[in-house]
């Protein structure tokens, strides 16, 4: 059955394009078996890269991380790196998007009928490109987002390695539903020791006492997080990779989140109280400008191959 957004017979599929089961299709038609272990056990890994003004941003870093995640889970996408790269380009091309959110997933696949032996599963790989997604829309970035510090504990590294990008988000989603109840847009979770970890798809930074304090551990090694640290250091801003506490967050001058889905975005309210002056601060604005400017830098970005035949 086609989704309303997936019915176009031929590209461009502007609602999004996917590559799955060895072929391209509108993203609304991209479906996986309800028996895939990626569904029934969330036994899979993924990565998301973005395209901005026709260029992939830090594609190599994302492909490196995706390869490391698959190796850690003993998953084989059935494609080499060039093959993965080719279908990522293909999805953006077929969607005809200049600004895109581009996701790649490798799942354990289906076990043989009747078997409960994971080794009988043939892994599956798919990817898709969607119009660019903002965790916090540009208009919202003018005033800044409102964040809640959740009472839920982020799934700890002793259970699921957070450096393997994964879909284990029930803690994040329930925390987010609770944040909505408290008039917040974003949420951040703590670890078992009380330290700040991450939110629903974003890392968190706080500017406290003149330093920058990214969460020290228990988080995904975010590529945008890394970009921010590099850009801040280039700008002469000290970055202390220490342990970010809830107290730091509550008394910070500036708070921001980083994500492939939106870049560097200001947070101006934490737990109902204004951060600093209650407006996006100068450090956040400066880093955000540097971040978007770096998208034209060939050290960081790769042009989409729009002309290549699918």
Which of 136, 268 has the CB closer to a copy of itself? Answer: 136
Residue 211's DSSP bridge partners are: 208
Binding region for a copy of itself (CB under 8 A): 1, 3, 5, 15, 18, 20-21, 27-28, 30-35, 37-43, 46, 73-74, 105, 108, 113-114, 116-119, 126, 128, 130-131, 133-135, 152-156, 158-160, 164, 166-174, 176-177, 180, 192, 201, 261
Is 241 in a helix, a strand, or coil?
coil
Which of 73, 208 has the CB closer to a copy of itself? Answer: 73
Q: How far, in Å, CA of 239 to CA of 213, rounded?
A: 6
Q: Using CA atoms of 91, 97, 102, 108 in order, give the dihedral in degrees to the nearest 10.
A: -30
Shortest spacing between CB 106 and a copy of itself, in angstroms? 12
Residue 182 contacts residue 149 (beta carbons within 8 Å):
no
Shortest spacing between CB 187 and a copy of itself, in angstroms? 11
Which of 168, 233 has the CB closer to a copy of itself? Answer: 168
Residue holding tokens 């002309």? 307
Which of 26, 276 has the CB closer to a copy of itself? Answer: 26
Shortest spacing between CB 80 and a copy of itself, in angstroms? 22
Which of 18, 92 has the CB closer to a copy of itself? Answer: 18
Which of 124, 227 has the CB closer to a copy of itself? Answer: 124
Which of 91, 304 has the CB closer to a copy of itself? Answer: 91
Shortest spacing between CB 211 and a copy of itself, in angstroms? 29
The bridge status of strand 203-208 relative to strand 254-259 is antiparallel
Shortest spacing between CB 103 and a copy of itself, in angstroms? 8
Among residues 266, 299, 306, 307, the alpha carbon closest in space to that of 283 is found at 266
Handedness of CA 161, 162, 167, 168 (dihedral sign): positive
Shortest spacing between CB 121 and a copy of itself, in angstroms? 10
Q: How far, in Å, CA of 236 to CA of 16, rounded?
A: 40
Residue 265 contacts residue 256 (beta carbons within 8 Å):
yes
What does 209-260 look like in DSSP terms, one character per residue? TTEEE---SSS---HHHHHHHHHHHHTT-----S--BHHHHHT-SEEEEEET
Shortest spacing between CB 306 and a copy of itself, in angstroms? 22
Residue 135 contacts residue 259 (beta carbons within 8 Å):
yes
């Amino acid at each position: 059955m086609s989704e309303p957004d997936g019915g176009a017979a031929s590209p461009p599929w502007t609602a999004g394009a996917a590559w799955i089961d060895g072929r391209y299709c509108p993203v609304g038609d991209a479906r996986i078996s309800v028996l895939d272990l990626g569904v029934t056990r969330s036994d899979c890994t993924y990565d998301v890269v973005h395209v901005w003004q026709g260029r992939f941003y830090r594609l190599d870093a994302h492909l490196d991380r995706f390869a490391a995640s698959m190796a850690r889970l003993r998953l084989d996408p059935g494609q080499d790196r060039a093959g993965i790269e080719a279908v990522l380009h293909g999805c953006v091309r077929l969607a005809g998007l200049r600004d895109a959110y581009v996701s790649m997933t490798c799942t354990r696949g289906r076990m043989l009928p009747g078997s409960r032996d994971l080794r009988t599963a043939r892994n599956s790989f798919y990817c898709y490109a969607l119009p660019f997604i903002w965790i916090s829309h540009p208009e919202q970035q003018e005033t800044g987002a409102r964040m809640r510090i959740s009472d839920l504990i982020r799934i700890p590294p002793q259970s699921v390695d957070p450096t393997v990008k994964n879909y284990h988000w029930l803690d994040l989603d329930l925390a987010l539903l609770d944040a909505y109840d408290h008039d917040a847009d974003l949420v951040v979770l703590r670890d078992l020791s009380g330290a700040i970890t991450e939110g629903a798809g974003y890392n968190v930074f706080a500017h406290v006492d003149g330093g920058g304090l990214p969460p020290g551990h228990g988080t995904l090694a975010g590529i945008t997080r890394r970009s921010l640290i590099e850009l801040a250091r280039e700008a002469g801003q000290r970055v202390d990779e220490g342990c970010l506490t809830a107290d730091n967050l509550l008394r910070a001058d500036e708070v921001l989140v980083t994500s492939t889905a939106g870049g560097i975005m200001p947070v101006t309210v934490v737990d109902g109280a204004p951060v600093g002056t209650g407006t996006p601060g100068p450090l956040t604005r400066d880093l955000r400008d540097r971040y978007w400017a770096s998208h034209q830098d060939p050290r960081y970005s790769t042009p989409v191959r729009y002309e290549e035949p699918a």
